[in-house]
Copies of this chain bind each other. A is one copy, B any other.
Amino acid sequence: MDFELDATTQDLQERLWDFVDNHVVPAEPVFHEQLGTGEERWAWSRAPVLAELRAEARSRGLWNLFLPQEHGDLGAGLTNLQYAPLAEITGHHGLLAPAALNCAAPDTGNMEVLAMFGTPEQQERWLRPLLDGEIRSSFAMTEPDVASSDATNISTSIVRDGDEYVINGRKWWITGAMNPDAEIMIVMGKTDPGAERHRQQSQVLVPRDTPGLTVVRPMHVLGYDDHEHGGHAELRFEDVRVPVSNLIGGEGEGFAIAQARLGPGRIHHCMRSIGVAERAITLMCQRVDSRVAFGRTLSQQGVIREWIAESRVRLEQLRLLVLKTAWLMDTVGNRGAHSEIQAIKIATPATVEWILDKAIQAHGAGGLSQDFPLAEQMAGIRTLRFADGPDEVHRNSLAKAEIARQVAKLS
């Protein structure tokens, strides 16, 4: 057992911090100026400063770091354990850093799915430009009409008609899909409602401009429309037709493919969230040391010190669990790390939300405003308690496995 990061990771950390501090942070105000208004505000990927950032990142070897080494030279060849501390850094400055490195969700998950399950044609047509950062993508799974905590509830129909699939249904919270550059969507629906529960679903590729696909409206998260990241769209599919060659994997494999993307997706979210919390602690400490009330700086107040100590103690524990999970994914595979992935999915938003809440409180009303990143981060972190299924479902599942394991000791 060894808690030191390896030399590759430490080197990349240093290079990434250099890039973030000297390029990403200065680019943030420029990005806000360049970002369009009205409908154009969704097209965040067109801001010139972002293209510059991406070119710079690529030239520095900070590109597609997320793609695990089993995909060979498609990505940077890092392990999950190596990538985790880098993802954390991008969480400190989440407005542009993930996109600058081509490591932003949901593109990352879509690229990984295409790398794992895509046909050579699909990879050539969609994976290549995604890896090169030329287009953006979305993943359309959640539906407004059913409890998405139970993935088998999904009701969008995918019906084969000759050489085509015909798709009908409604989706919402489709992250990034308000951006006109999100050219391709991976859509989950049911090809065989009569099959066994986890074999009813399939995933198909649907280009944005396919007739019958309507972007209905943007969903808001606590007052934010997240236009800087392409928003969260409600979509309507009315007799949307795609060729059967757009099927990913085989019919009935949709649920399994969804599961495969979840592990890496979750751990990336968790690592970035830890970066969010680190920055919140930094801001909280610096703020309380600079404000005076009742004759003392806030940093001398015992109550605020409790918040800071508790934040640090919780965050250290969380990070170690996320790192161990990454290590398990590398050593025993995503399936072997199933319980740990659930555990970090449960633990991360609870811990980070707690820290953000205290950091906000330490900032006074300003903490809820546009003057600090804390409020917007709070909105983002809050969604993680639902994203990929609510925590309650994960806790239930994790407990079932734990009980089974403990009861087995009796025999």
Q: Please, which residues of chain B bring their CB within 8 A of the CB of A299?
A: 403
Q: Please, which residues of chain B bring their CB within 8 A of the CB of A224?
A: 222-223
**A313/B346 in contact, CB under 8 A:** yes
A398 within 8 A of B: yes
**B343/A361 in contact, CB under 8 A:** no
**B368/A221 in contact, CB under 8 A:** yes
Q: Please, which residues of chain B bring their CB within 8 A of the CB of A383?
A: 365, 368
CB < 8 Å neighbour of A285 from B376, B387, B392, B406: B406
Q: Which of A100-108, A246-254, A286-294 participates in binding chain B?
A: A286-294
**B298/A147 in contact, CB under 8 A:** yes
A132 within 8 A of B: no
Q: How far is the CB of A370 from chain B (nearest CB, A)?
A: 5
Please measure, in the bound complex, the distance between the C-alpha atom of A366 and the C-alpha atom of B219, giving whole angstroms. 9
How many copies make up the complex?
Answer: 4
**B173/A396 in contact, CB under 8 A:** no
Q: How far is the CB of A241 from chain B (nearest CB, A)?
A: 29
A173-B365, A347-B317, A361-B386 known; A309 vs B147 contact (CB < 8 Å): no
Please measure, in the bound complex, the distance between the C-alpha atom of A320 and the C-alpha atom of B2, giving whole angstroms. 11
A285-B406, A386-B364 known; A343 vs B369 contact (CB < 8 Å): no
**A324/B3 in contact, CB under 8 A:** yes
A262 within 8 A of B: no
Q: Please, which residues of chain B bring their CB within 8 A of the CB of A403?
A: 285, 288-289, 299, 305, 308
By beta carbon, the residue of chain B nearest A218 is B370
Q: Which A residues from 360 to 411 make CB contacts under 8 A with B?
A: 360-361, 364-366, 368-370, 375-376, 378-379, 382-383, 385-387, 390, 392-396, 398-400, 402-403, 405-407, 409-410
Q: Which of A67-75, A148-156, A177-185, A201-209 participates in binding chain B?
A: A148-156
What 1/0 mask marks residues of chain A from 304 to 333 whose CB sits below 8 Å from any chain B CB?
111111101110111011011001100000
Q: Please, which residues of chain B bring their CB within 8 A of the CB of A317?
A: 317-318, 320-321, 347
**B369/A219 in contact, CB under 8 A:** yes
Q: Which A residues from 276 to 301 make CB contacts under 8 A with B?
A: 281-282, 285-286, 288-289, 291-294, 298-299, 301
Q: Please, which residues of chain B bring their CB within 8 A of the CB of A392?
A: 301-304, 306, 361
By beta carbon, the residue of chain B nearest A303 is B302
Q: Please, which residues of chain B bring their CB within 8 A of the CB of A81?
A: 1
Please measure, in the bound complex, the distance between the C-alpha atom of A312 and the C-alpha atom of B404, giving whole angstroms. 13
Please measure, in the bound complex, the distance between the C-alpha atom of A173 and the C-alpha atom of B288, giving whole angstroms. 20
Can you list 21 contacts pairing A with B, beta carbon distance less than 8 Å? Answer: A2-B327, A3-B328, A146-B291, A147-B292, A220-B223, A220-B375, A222-B222, A222-B223, A285-B407, A286-B409, A305-B400, A306-B396, A308-B398, A308-B402, A309-B399, A313-B321, A313-B343, A313-B346, A320-B320, A361-B385, A368-B379
